[in-house]
Structures are given as C-alpha cells and as structure tokens.
Structure 1
Amino acid sequence: MMRKNLLREVWASGRPVLNGWLGVGSSHSAEVMSHIGFDSLTVDLQHGAIDYSMALPMITAINTTQVVPLARPVSLDPPQIMKLLDAGAFGIICPMIDTPADARRLVEACRYPPIGQRSFGPTRSAMSQGPGYTTDDANREIVVIGQVETPTSLSNLDAILATDGLDGVYVGPSDLTLSMGLGADGDSSDPKFIEALRYVVERCRATGRHVGMHCANGPQARRMVEMGFDFVTVGSDTGLMGEAGRNRLALVRESTAPVNKGTGY
C-alpha cells in the first residue's frame, strides 16, 4: 500500500498543519529544515531560488523523514506539476487560482483518471511513496491546494471550492493585499483584509475544505490558527536563518559593547 499522507492524519486529529517554506535550492538546507519539527515543507519554485533539478534532491532529502514534502510550481503548468508529483511531492500548492476553470485544471494535473488527467510515470514517487503505489492510492493521498490571491478569486471562491478533487485553498496574503490596493503587506491589519480572511475561513468551513495561510511570522501564524485556518506556514528557510542570525548578533553585540571609561577630564 502507498505510504500515507500524514497531513490527512493531522487534520483528522483536529490539529492544524504547521508548514515550513523552502526557498533555498539546497538539499542540505531542506534536510536541516526537515529536522526542526514541521509537519510539512513546501519547495517553492515560484519565488524561491529553485528549479526542478534542485527540487528533486530537496524532495528526496525530505522523504528520509516523516515530514510531508509539498511543492509550489511556478504557475498553473500541468507538465511541471506532474513532474513534481512524480519526483515524490505529496501535494501541490498552486499559485493564482482565480476561477473554477483554473481549479479544475489544477485537479486534472494532480489526479489520475478517471478523476483527472495526470500522466502515469511515477519516476520517484513509486519508490518513495511505497512499493504498493497505485493510481487509486495516489488520488486519495495527494493533497491539492489552490492559492487565493486576488479579489477575482474571492468573488469566485464558492465555485472554486465546489471543484471535485480540490482539498482546499491557501491565501497568498501579500498578493491579496497588493491587488486590494493595500500594498504588499502580508501581515496587514486593514479591516478589509481581515474581513477577506474571515470570509475565506467561513466558506471553507461551510464546504468542508481545508484553508491555509502564508504567515509572515509566528505571532501571525498563531492568530490565523485562532481565526480558523487549519494549515499555516510558520516560517521559511531564509526567514528563519535571517531572524536567528540577527537575534544572535544583537545579543552578542549588546554584551560586548565597549565601555566608555571617560578621559579623566
């Protein structure tokens, strides 16, 4: 039998999925992130410094642990999506899903017939996801998530969520605030943005879909969980590295600041 997608078990337990984000094209970095404690890690080909030749060993490194590897393609590009799934990704977070037609095209790229049109050629996934790999198992275990990032996607949200085979949506907050005329502020406190987030959560709950959010920091991730999001990106490799480095340097610099002993005058 195909290896279980542990994200579904996390959701079944009532706990939100805590996701990490990978933008550095390095299997070593991915391996380090795999041992921090995230439920899943998303390899970002859209905005990360990553291409397919880098994504493959990163997914392989994640597969050595219990962490679930996900991938974000550059765009709604079925050939690239299929290759990422064949490489061993257990799910896809696809950017800019604005219409039900976009959502259907995404599902078709991720699901084998009769649900979708995914071509059969599990290059790595048949090994990394278990010797009993079948198309039925893959259709059941693979997670398919579309990104909600524009007012158009909000206006079409119910139709998007009605797409068979779609597991949920993921808010891209900076693109959403930018397209709402609020600037690229993923942690905005603007009432219009907060209202939009609450609307997405409410519609996902009403339709039994999962709802995710790309969070700028830990406090925001906690607030989003309290709001009802059941999938939150807590941090990225670049963000965590920068934050840890700045904090440690500040601590050491504070303790080693020169003491002004005066001139005696």
Structure 2
Amino acid sequence: MQMKNFLKEKLARKPYVLGAFVASCSPTNVEILGMNGLDFVILDMEHSPLGLETMVDMIRAAEAYGMVAIPRVYTIETKLMRRVLDIGAHGLLVPMVNTMDDARYVLDAVKFPPLGQRGMNAGRGPRWGAYDHYIQEANDALFTMFQCETREGLRNVEEMAKLEGLDSIFIGTGDLSLDMGHPQDLKNPEVAGAIDTILNACVKNGKIPGIVTGTPEAAAERIHQGFRIVTIMNDLGMFKKQSQLQIDKVHALCP
C-alpha cells in the first residue's frame, strides 16, 4: 500500500484547506471534526497534556475520514519528533523555529537519508516493518511545517523559505504579536507588515502559507489575502463558547 498524504493531495487541487487545533486529547473530537468535513487537525502537544499513546488513536480517527492529523510538538528535539512520526503522523508542526540552525536541525531529524538522518523502526509509521519503498514514500509524503512566531524568526523567514524539504510556514499570530509588543493586535501596522512579509516569503519560494484564525470572517479574510492553510477553531475553545451560549440562552428564557 502506497503511503499518501491527503493534505498534499487536497492542496494540489484546492485553493485552501481548513483545519482546527485539538487540545482536548480526544479521538472522538477528531472523529467529529473529520465527519464535519475538515481537511486537517493540529494535535497540540505544546499547550496540552497530550501524549503519544492517545495521539496514535487521534491519528487513526483522522485517517478514517481522509483527514490529516499534524502533531504540534512542544520542543525542537530529535527523539520527540521522530517518535511522533514513528506512530504514523503524516505531518509535523514545529513551533519557535527561529534560526537557520533550528530549521536545518528539524529537517535533518525528520527526513530519511540522503535528505536527513532519521532512523528506521518497525512501528506504525512504516506499517510494522513493511519497508519496501517506505523511505522514499515517507520523505515525499511528510508535510513539514515551521511556525514563525518571533521577531527572530521573522528576520530569517526569507532564507528558511528557500529550504528543500520544508512544505509550509505557519504564522502563530498570538505569539508573534506578543513578541512584537502588540499582543493580539493584528491590525497594528508592524504586526500586519510582519504577516505580509511571511506570506510573501512563502509565495516567492514555493512554500504554502498558513495562519491561525478564530472566526469564519477572519478565516475568509486570510484566504482572500492568499493564505492556503487556515485553522478556524480550537476544539476546547469552541466547546466553551457553545456551551456558554446554551447556558445563557436557557437563563434568558427563564429569568
């Protein structure tokens, strides 16, 4: 069975793809999002207690609906990134990639030779030891994303965007605006200019630009701006918002 990446296939035929951050450690939530038609989910290890034993079931739930699960690791560390790939992740979002050394380190860790130094294993990723063609397929199918979310990363984004093996640069607007001294003020000229700089670096160098949003209107605005990978929600945030609306509505009807 050939290893495929549904996200790459969708990006080849669609102008944009929609996704969500999943911080709930819930395979059920992943399944529901896939059932509703999302293209991908980002499994958030950075800001949740999510571990690998739960993550593998979340990846399976995504695959059942032709959706790609992309773990966001919590550190640039070789063993962690490789273990995530060994359980079958077809993508990887790496936060705080700030320097060219960071960027090269990540690519070296996640690619098999001759592109990197990833080692062989007999886990779920290589189909329990079915190595025929796996190395080349894995190098081709893996969707690698760097997160640009600091001024230092911004200074290096043009050079990073030239790297072979990198597929996408994803903007963490919250941390980027915080690092620039304008937390969550995405209309600030400096922050807006930084977002444009990252977008332009991606377009110029054939990388796919991605960004986080929180509303349908914000998502549409970013898509029209030229972003092709767009997250539209966090599952826990959505649960909080919708449950609060239900509670408030009942109280309003029964004062």
TM-score (norm 1): 0.90
| Structure 1: unaligned runs, 5 residues or longer | 259-265
Q: Contact 1:71/1:93 (CA < 8 Å) preserved in 2? A: yes
% identical aligned pairs: 27
> SS at the partner of 2:9?
helix
Aligned ranges 1:128-167 → 2 under 5 Å: 134-167=134-167
Q: Contact 1:212/1:231 (CA < 8 Å) preserved in 2? A: yes
How many angstroms apart in 1 are the aligned matches of 2:219 and 2:127?
A: 34
The alpha-carbon deviation at position 67 of structure 1 amounts to 0.8
From 187, 197, 200, give the equivalent of 2:198.
Answer: 200
> SS at the partner of 2:48?
coil
> SS at the partner of 1:120?
coil
Equivalent residue, structure 2, for 1:261: none
Q: Contact 1:168/1:209 (CA < 8 Å) preserved in 2? A: yes
Equivalent residue, structure 1, for 2:232: 234
Superposed CA offset, 1:66-104 (max 9, x none): 111111111111111111111111100000001111111
Q: Contact 1:100/1:163 (CA < 8 Å) preserved in 2? A: no
How many angstroms apart in 2 are the aligned matches of 1:219 and 1:67?
A: 23
How many angstroms apart in 2 are the aligned matches of 1:133 and 1:216?
A: 40
How many angstroms apart in 1 are the aligned matches of 2:133 and 2:22?
A: 27
Equivalent residue, structure 1, for 2:254: 257
The alpha-carbon deviation at position 223 of structure 1 amounts to 1.2
RMSD over aligned CA atoms reads 1.9
How many angstroms apart in 2 are the aligned matches of 1:20 and 1:247?
A: 20
How many angstroms apart in 1 are the aligned matches of 2:120 and 2:19?
A: 28
Structure 2 letter corresponding to 1:169: I
Q: Which shows bigger deviation, 48-57 or 65-74?
A: 48-57
Larger Rg: 1
From 212, 215, 237, give the equivalent of 1:214.
Answer: 212
Evaluate the alpha carbon distance shift between residue 32 and residue 133 of structure 1 in structure 2; reply closer, same or farther with a 3 A threshold: farther
How many angstroms apart in 1 are the aligned matches of 2:202 and 2:61?
A: 32
How many angstroms apart in 2 are the aligned matches of 1:221 and 1:189?
A: 15
The alpha-carbon deviation at position 216 of structure 1 amounts to 2.6
> SS at the partner of 1:162?
coil
Q: Contact 2:3/2:138 (CA < 8 Å) preserved in 1? A: no
Equivalent residue, structure 2, for 1:244: 242
How many angstroms apart in 2 are the aligned matches of 1:103 and 1:251?
A: 48
How many angstroms apart in 2 are the aligned matches of 1:205 and 1:55?
A: 32
Equivalent residue, structure 2, for 1:37: 37
| Structure 2: unaligned runs, 5 residues or longer | none
Evaluate the alpha carbon distance shift between residue 56 and residue 116 of structure 1 in structure 2; reply closer, same or farther with a 3 A threshold: same
Equivalent residue, structure 1, for 2:5: 5
Q: Contact 1:198/1:227 (CA < 8 Å) preserved in 2? A: no
How many angstroms apart in 2 are the aligned matches of 1:253 and 1:232?
A: 35
Equivalent residue, structure 2, for 1:262: none
How many angstroms apart in 1 are the aligned matches of 2:3 and 2:176?
A: 35
TM-score (norm 2): 0.93
How many angstroms apart in 2 are the aligned matches of 1:80 and 1:134?
A: 20
Equivalent residue, structure 1, for 2:74: 74
Structure 2 letter corresponding to 1:55: M
